């Protein structure tokens, strides 16, 4: 079974849907707690973030990763850095991306 990408406009919708699919509520809360940091900072800066989840749709689903995507404008430069650094505990990929932006990479 291949991985699928699902997207949600709100935290509650994402959490409820994954729990209904059989995912462990605490696991999902841990994952989304981090993504929520990115999400809320993005909203604060005027962007329209979406919760994205990569999962293998089994019962329970195998959740591979969470991320934040954007409807409309994608944050650039310092805005993106602020969004990436917003969660209390930074992810490895978040730090890598911040370094790339600081080195002049345009996302």
Which residues sit at the interface with Zn ion, rule CB under 5 A?
91, 94
Q: Which is nearer to Zn ion, 38 or 55 (CB)?
A: 38
**Shortest gap between Cβ of 33 and Zn ion (angstroms)?**
11
**Shortest gap between Cβ of 18 and Zn ion (angstroms)?**
18
Residue 79: closest CA among 49, 34, 54, 50: 49
Q: Which is nearer to Zn ion, 23 or 38 (CB)?
A: 38
Residue 58: closest CA among 4, 6, 15: 4
How close are the terminal C-alpha atoms of the chain, in Å? 31
**Shortest gap between Cβ of 67 and Zn ion (angstroms)?**
8
């Amino acid at each position: 079974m291949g991985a699928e990408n699902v997207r949600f406009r709100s935290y509650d919708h994402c959490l409820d849907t994954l729990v209904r699919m059989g995912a462990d509520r605490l696991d999902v809360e841990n994952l989304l707690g981090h993504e929520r940091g990115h999400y809320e900072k993005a909203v604060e800066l005027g962007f329209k973030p979406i919760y994205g989840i990569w999962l293998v749709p089994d019962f329970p689903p195998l959740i591979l990763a969470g991320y934040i995507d954007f409807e409309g404008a994608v944050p650039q430069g310092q805005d993106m850095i602020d969004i990436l650094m917003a969660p209390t505990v930074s992810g490895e990929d978040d730090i890598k991306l911040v370094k790339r932006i600081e080195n002049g990479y345009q996302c």
